[in-house]
Amino acid sequence: MESLNCTPEPLTPFDCDLRDFQFFPLDALRLRDSDLAALSTGDEFRAAVLLWCAAWHQVPAASLPDDDRVLANLIGYGRDTEGWKAVKDGAMRGWVKCSDGRLYHPVVAEKAISAWQGKFKQRWNTECARIKKHNERHKTNVPRPSFEDWMSQGCPQGQKLDVPGDSQGTC
C-alpha cells in the first residue's frame, strides 16, 4: 500500500520576512489560558516564548530550522543540547514540521501573516498617496490601483508617472 504524504505545507509564505519588525504581538489572554501555560515548567515556558521570538525573525517568519543545536543556541543554551533536550518537549508544544523541513507554530504564523499583510497594506497606502499627490500637483487623473490589483502586479512602488509637458527620454 502506498503511504500518503501528510506533511502540511508551510504555514507562512516562503518570502515572509519580518526581520525589520521588532514588535511581536503577544495575545496575553490566549497565552494565559493555553496548555503551554497550564502544563509546562517555568524553563519550558521561557524556552517556548524565546522560540516564538526567534521564529518571528526567521525567513519565512514563524518558522525554525529542525536542528536541536540551532534551537538550543537560539534560546540561550549555546552548545548545551542536553539542557535544551530537557525542556524541548514542553517548549515545542504546538510546533509542526512542514513540507519544507522547517518547524512552524500555528499561532505565531497567524500573527506573522497578519503583520506581513499589514506591511503590504502600508506600502500600498504609501503608493496611493504618492499617486494622489502627483495628480494634485499635475492636474492629472492617474488611477490608484485597488489593493488586490496592486498585489497581483507584484506590488510596484515608485513607478514613473508621466507629467504633462515631459519630453520623451528625459529623466
Whether residue 46 is found in the same domain as residue 87: yes
Domain that holds residue 102: 28-113
The region, left, alpha or beta by phi > 0 then psi within -120 to 50, assigned to residue 98 is beta
Do 101 and 37 lie in one domain? The reply is yes
- pLDDT, residue 57, reads 96
108 shares a domain with 32: yes
Do 79 and 44 reside in the same domain of the chain?
yes
The domain total for the chain is: 2
Question: 107 and 63 share a domain?
Answer: yes
Report the candidate in 130, 169, 123, 166 with the shortest Cα–Cα distance to residue 147: 123
pLDDT of residue 4: 54
pLDDT, position 21? 87
| Report field, pTM of the whole predicted structure over 0.95 | no
Considering the domain architecture, whether residues 127 and 142 belong to the same structural domain is answered as yes
Q: Which of 117, 127, 118, 119 is nearest to 150 (CA)?
A: 127
pLDDT at residue 3 in the model: 46
Asked if residue 85 is part of any domain, the answer here is: yes
Question: Residue 5: CA atoms inside 13 Å, Cβ hemisphere, count?
Answer: 7
Q: Would you give per-residue pLDDT tens digits along the chain (171 residues)?
A: 444 567 899 999 999 999 988 888 989 999 999 999 999 999 999 999 999 999 999 999 999 999 999 999 999 999 999 999 999 999 999 999 999 999 999 999 999 999 988 888 888 888 888 888 888 888 888 888 887 877 777 766 666 666 555 444 443
Q: Is residue 99 part of a domain?
A: yes
Same domain, 95 and 126: no
Residue 163 lies in a domain: no
Q: Are residues 105 and 54 in the same domain?
A: yes
State the pLDDT at residue 39: 93
Q: Do 33 and 70 share a domain, yes or no?
A: yes
